[in-house]
Each structure stands twice: as C-alpha cells, then as structure tokens.
Amino acid sequence: MAEERKIKVLVVDDQRELAEEIASVLQTDDELEVTGVALDGFDALDKMKENLPDVALLDIRMPNMNGVVATRRIKEEYPDVKVVILTTFDDSDYILSAINNGASGYLLKDMGAAAMVSAIKNAYVGDTILPSKIARRITAAAQHVAADREIKLARAFSLSDREVEIALMMYEGFTNRQISSALKLSEGTTRNYVSSIYEKTDSENRAEAVQAIKKVL
C-alpha cells in the first residue's frame, strides 16, 4: 500500500527562532512535512520556486514584504497554495485585507501545538480558519464598513433608508425581482423605489445608477 502524501507547509516569520520552533512542532505530526523556513514575503516566494508547499503559514508583520502583501503575491502566482496568517495581533484592517487577498484564515501565535496542526490540516482541505476572537473583530469591522457605505449613499443622494438598502442591492447585482423577494415587496413597489433612485442619482438607467453609486462607495 502506497504511503499517503504529506501536506507540505512553508513557515514564514522574520523571527527565525520562532519560525524554527513552529517548524519543529509541525514536523512532529506524521501528516505534515515542513518544506522550509522563510524570513519575509520575498524569501517565501523564492523558496516556493524550489519546493511548492500546500500551505504557507505567514506572520502578518514582517519587514520588506508583510503577510498581507505576501498573501496577494502568493495567490497571484500560486492560486492553489492555501495561505494561513499567523499573528499576535487582532487588527481588523490587517485581518480584512489579508482575507480579501485570498488568505484561508488566521491563527494566533499563542495557540497550542495540537490546535495549530489541526488548523493547518483544515485549511488544506478548504476550511476557513478564524479563532473566535478574530471572527468577532471581523464581524464588527464588516458592520462598520456597511454602516459607512449606507451613510455615504444617504448623504450623497438624499436617499431614504429603504432607498439606500435597494441601491446597495442594485450595486451588488440584484435584479428587481430578487430585491422584491428579499425585502418582501411587490415588484411594483420595487420599481417605484428604483425609479426614485434613478432620479436622485441623475441616471437614465440601471447601469448609470450603479456607476453613480460606485463612485460614492
């Protein structure tokens, strides 16, 4: 019977001692193989040319190229590599940016060895890894972004609360029928709201209205 292929992991952290400590922990698991240790994003990309990992474990704050930028570069060049961010920080801007760049999630550096090994395996099979503390921060940040968008639209075009809601759905690509279904409105009522949005955004059609909304957001 052929031996099962191990999950290849590249550890990237500018603190070499910590990176090697993490690598040693991961190597104790029979299903993982550490392909190397890199000290920043540039170093990680170089090492990937030699031995492509399945999972890259990246520190978020590194000199030269941090984890957020490295995530984007890795996903552009090697889209199949799963990127997991390793951090002691719970900064919402970093969190959202890295996930928007394609990261599979976050691990906190102070988590136990067993939890870290399990998280890497879960990321490999496609799960999103978010400790509860970070998940709460992301939810709060997303709510803040949503509220900010609503305020911008209301101010720019003097839209009512319902018009703001519908304008955002138009921006996201919802049809009138989908908007009616989601908001439990008749299609006639939805059309009236959409017509009002056209008028307030000085638009002749849906495409122009969406473009006007996009400029504000």
- How far apart CA 1 and CA 148 sit, in angstroms, is 58
Number of domains in the chain: 2
Q: Is residue 2 included in any domain, yes or no? A: no
| pLDDT tens per residue, range 18-39 | 999 999 999 999 999 999 999 9
CATH number at residue 123: 3.40.50.2300
User: Residue 141: which pLDDT band, with cuts at 50, 70 and 90?
Assistant: low
How far apart, in whole angstroms, are the C-alpha atoms of residue 129 and residue 104? 6
Question: 55 and 114: one domain?
Answer: yes
CA 28, 32, 36, 42 dihedral sign is negative
CATH code for the domain in which residue 189 is found? 1.10.10.10
Query: In terms of domains, do 199 and 122 share one?
Result: no
Which range among 13-17, 98-102, 197-201 shows the weakest confidence by mean pLDDT? Answer: 98-102
Confidence band of 58 (pLDDT split at 50, 70, 90): very high
Q: Which of 79, 105, 130 is the last residue of a domain?
A: 130
- More confident of the two residues 95 and 67: 67
Q: Residue 81: give the domain boundaries.
A: 7-130
Separation between Cα atoms, residue 84 and residue 59, nearest integer Å: 9
Do 152 and 125 have their domain in common? no
Domain assignment of residue 1, yes or no? no
Q: What is the pLDDT of residue 1?
A: 41
Query: Residues 105, 190: one domain?
Result: no
- Average pLDDT estimate for 47-72: 92
Residues 116 and 196 in one domain: no
Residues 25 and 116 in one domain: yes
Count of residues for the chain? 217
Q: How far is CA 30 from CA 41, 122, 127, in A?
A: 27, 15, 20
Query: 117 and 179 share a domain?
Result: no
Q: How confident is the model at residue 131 (pLDDT cuts 50, 70, 90)?
A: confident
126 and 144 belong to one structural domain: no
In sequence order, the β-bridge partners of residue 108 are 87
Q: Is 155 domain-assigned?
A: yes
Residue 202 lies in a domain: yes
**pTM for the structure as a whole:** 0.64
pLDDT one-digit tens code per residue, 81-118:
999 998 876 666 677 778 878 899 888 888 888 989 99
119 shares its domain with 158? no
Nearest in space to 69 (alpha carbons), one of 12, 136, 9, 131: 12
